[in-house]
A and B are shown apart, each in its own frame.
Chain A
Amino acid sequence: KNEVEQSPQNLTAQEGEFITINCSYSVGISALHWLQQHPGGGIVSLFMLSSGKKKHGRLIATINIQEKHSSLHITASHPRDSAVYICAVISQGGSEKLVFGKGTKLTVNP
């Protein structure tokens, strides 16, 4: 079992819909990253959070440390949001290296 599990693997939505992508992890963590990767490979860091909730524009990220779960929400989705969204965690103690989920491929149709 992977340390970081994302769901769903693939998601297709219509423009304007509310999107939720989930990330569950099995280890204690010090922080969690949400990343966005567009076709072609470039990765953009969306959020880094260790507790609570963060908001940037139409994107909202939440984390529940006790339940070992984080969600990324996109409100009023747009075709330009089509990308792969990747969750990555930094485990507590010992080696501080990023462990990645497999990603969620989001397609937003006009």
Chain B
Amino acid sequence: KAGVTQTPRYLIKTRGQQVTLSCSPISGHRSVSWYQQTPGQGLQFLFEYFSETQRNKGNFPGRFSGRQFSNSRSEMNVSTLELGDSALYLCASSSRQASTGELFFGEGSRLTVL
């Protein structure tokens, strides 16, 4: 069974640009959740999608958005990038809603904002 796939793995952007990250969950999983990891703040929850609906959202500005497609693949978008958005962005898939099911993480997308 293929694991969770995140693309791209590494990317460099400049301030003001926007970025889109992709997450393909394990086949059959309907929940995809997104997390930001920085050295200062650690891991923080961004949002969760289940069956194409956003179920929960963390405390991030509106520049952070996401969506989920009918095949459960999910994308997150960050607009008007700031230096502080440099981070490892991780997604996790689950067969159940993330709060109640085992999580399977991707390798992450490492974003550097210059």
Contact = CB atoms under 8 A, between A and B. Distances in A.
Interface of A: 30-31, 33, 35, 40-45, 48, 86, 88, 90, 95-103
Interface stretch (B37-45, B61-69, B74-82): B37-45
Given A41-B110, A102-B42, A33 B100 contact: no
Given A96-B55, A98-B99, 13 more contacts: A31-B99, A31-B100, A35-B103, A40-B107, A42-B107, A43-B92, A48-B102, A88-B43, A96-B98, A97-B99, A98-B98, A100-B42, A100-B45
Contacts of A33: 103
Interface of B: 33, 35, 37, 42-45, 48, 55-58, 88, 90, 92, 97-105, 107-108, 110
Contacts of B108: 41-42
A32 to B, nearest CB: 11
A103 B38 CA distance: 12
Given A96-B56, A97-B56, A43 B105 contact: yes
Contact of A43 (B55, B57, B90, B100): B90
Give me the 9 closest cross-chain CB pairs, A-B, nearest first: A96-B99, A43-B105, A100-B43, A90-B99, A97-B45, A41-B108, A97-B56, A102-B42, A45-B103
A50 to B, nearest CB: 9
